[in-house]
Amino acid sequence: MRELVSDEQVAAYREHGFVRVQGVLDRDQVEHFRGSAEAFLKAHRAESLETQGTFSQLVNVWQRDDDLRALTLDTRLGRIAEQLAGFPLRLWHDQMLVKEPHNNVATEFHQDRPYWPHAGDRLPLSAWIALVDVPPERGCMTFLPGTQDRTGLQPQDLHHEEDLFEMDPSLRWIPRVTVPLRAGDCTFHSGYTGHMALPNRTDLARLAHVVIYIDAATTYNGAPHVVTDPLGLAVGDRLDGDTFPRAWA
Ligand code: SIN
Ligand code: NI
């Protein structure tokens, strides 16, 4: 297989727990998917899982919108994710995360993996794709480099600025890396890398499309989660099949 990201990018991801990949979408793709995302948001905003103003969160968009399905299951994106991870991946879920204009609310520091009902897995990762330019003042992400080895913490409240740091005070002193993105760029971050997103202080909505990839060997641990609750899974079942596709293989 042709290398999709450089050895340096793979090394940076493995060392820091995140990496920026510029230009994963070209200008035409950005315009197309931005239009699809705006239309989907307009129709479904009221279904947001998050209701405290941090962002509108629409989950498993790919199952309901053919255009955005093509983005979530994009072969190049999935192969980059596998190159970074170093092992076969499946889709866990996608989500549209939209910070409305002047929402003025940060997504506070947290790790993603503690929210998920997973077992038997190696390090999952998310692609956070900017569908508009996302400078710091529009709510770009900030990472805590090297924290992908901090496993074992309880789920953190992403509405609470201190929660992650109260759980592990040593994280407070790690230099923070803020990563602005142009439309069509993305960051990949691991499920344990501490991260936050700044508030949107601009007149334009911050549109991000997030694709979450998990180890293809991941099993269900029995905990409640909006994605697995309707599926009738038993503890130990593999998260595989059409619901968790490996479309890029
Ligand atoms: C955000 O986009 O506001 C947060 C994204 C994340 O937590 O992964
Ligand atoms: Ni997160």
Q: Which domains can be identified in the chain, with CATH numbers?
A: 13-221 (2.60.120.620)
Protein residue with its CA nearest to atom 5 in ligand 1 = 197
Q: Give the model confidence (pLDDT) of 59-108 as tens digits.
A: 999 999 999 999 999 999 999 999 999 999 999 999 999 999 999 999 99
DSSP SS3 for 160: coil
Please tell me the predicted confidence (pLDDT) of residue 119.
98
The tokens describing 79, both together, are: 């192969």
Q: Give the model confidence (pLDDT) of 3-28 as tens digits.
A: 689 999 999 999 999 999 999 999 99
Cβ–Cβ under 8 Å, residues 56 and 50: yes
Tell me the C-alpha distance between 159 and 39, whole Å.
27
User: 195 burial class (0-12, 13-18, 19+ CB within 10 angstroms)?
Assistant: buried
Residue of 52, 125, 128 to test ligand 1 pocket, by largest number of atoms within 8 Å of CB: 128
- CA 227 vs CA 63, 79, 87, 234: distances in Å: 12, 23, 23, 14
Crossing angle of helices 7-16 and 75-85, rounded to 10°: 60
Give the pTM: 0.97
Please tell me the predicted confidence (pLDDT) of residue 1.
45
The tokens describing 54, both together, are: 């941090």
Please work out whether the CB of residue 197 comes within 6 Å of at least one atom of ligand 1: yes
The tokens describing 235, both together, are: 């503890």
Please tell me the predicted confidence (pLDDT) of residue 53.
87
* Percent of the chain whose predicted confidence (pLDDT) is above 90: 97
